[in-house]
Amino acid sequence: MIDVIAFRTALATLAAVSLASLAGWVPSARAQQQVIYIPPPFQCPPGDVQIGPAQCITPTPPAYSAVAFHRDASDVWIAAMYPDAYSAKVAAKARCDREMGGGCNTGWQGKGYIGVARGADGTVFYAIDREKAAVNKTLAEQCKIHELGCTPIGMFKSHDEFRKRPYRGDNIRGPKDLASLHKKYVAAAWVSDSGYDGMVWVASGYDSSDQAQSVAMNLCRIKRNGNPACKVGAVSGNGFILFYTDGVEDGFVIEQTEARVKQALAQRCKRAKRSCTVRAMHNARESGAFEVGGK
């Protein structure tokens, strides 16, 4: 028969010895190496957006662009990748005003396109839309008044990068041809009523359209004894005026280059099914006062 008291005493003694032996126990190096590492939750870099368990995208920042233009400038200034419309307009206008001495105006858009083209008489057109096709359509409508349409200047996106590395400072696209940036003007005047006899007076090389028109008008009035029927009938900035006759009536064509003005004349005369003869051609960037002979 088991002595219950002796058995309980032995168990208590064994437990005491076991606890005492574990009091100074430390896991071995091998045991420590087997500890399982649980990584922290997945996180995207600052500014990125998580779109999957371990997937991030960098969102496209809001981008605004602006166009600055001046009536006497042959090109434009484009500011792109700006955080709001105001800062884009300020940047573009500041650069334009610096080059032109003030008087610049602006247009803007966000996340879209700015299309720019130059008309036959030097007028710069621009169109703005979210869709490139809509911009092209608007420009085509504006330019259809010209025999050959317009000369494209560029199509600019709100996210265009114009700077070179390291991409510092204002992100501005400026005019490409600084030599002809400031327009020179040519204007022509003649007697507009039944007193027209084929005589035309031309003033070219002036810094403003108003100056060129005023000189041409005065030339006509002086030569025609103050005839009130004198009028300015043609003006071009940075371009050419070509005067012609087709045997039935006199006319003129305006374009930005000598090659284009001759092409425009050929197209017009072909459409009219008439043989045209050039009477004179004048370049806006050549200064002078001229008289085109009469009939």
The position carrying tokens 């009523």 is 193
Domains in the chain, number = 2
Question: Do 255 and 190 reside in the same domain of the chain?
Answer: yes
pLDDT for the residue numbered 37 = 72
Rg (CA), the chain: 39
Nearest to 142 by CA among 155, 152, 157: 152
* 211-243 pLDDT, tens digit each: 999 999 999 999 999 999 999 999 999 999 999
Mean pLDDT of 37-57: 79
139 and 150 Cβ atoms separated by less than 8 Å: yes
230 and 223 Cβ atoms separated by less than 8 Å: no
pLDDT for the residue numbered 11 = 47
Integer Cα distance of 11 and 171 in angstroms: 86
Nearest to 241 by CA among 192, 200, 188, 288: 188
Range of the domain at 153: 64-179
Question: Do 150 and 171 reside in the same domain of the chain?
Answer: yes
Average pLDDT, the chain: 89
Q: Is residue 32 part of a domain?
A: no
Question: Do 138 and 190 reside in the same domain of the chain?
Answer: no
Which of 155, 179, 203 is a domain's end point?
179
pLDDT for the residue numbered 26 = 56
Integer Cα distance of 258 and 115 in angstroms: 25
9 pLDDT above the threshold of 80:
no
Q: Is residue 19 part of a domain?
A: no
Which of 145, 179, 213 is a domain's end point?
179
Buried b (16+ CB within 10 A) or exposed e, 257-291: eeebbbebbeebbeeeeeebeebbbbbbbeeeebe
Query: What residues does 155 pair with on adjacent strands?
Result: 115
Which of 117, 152, 179 is a domain's end point?
179
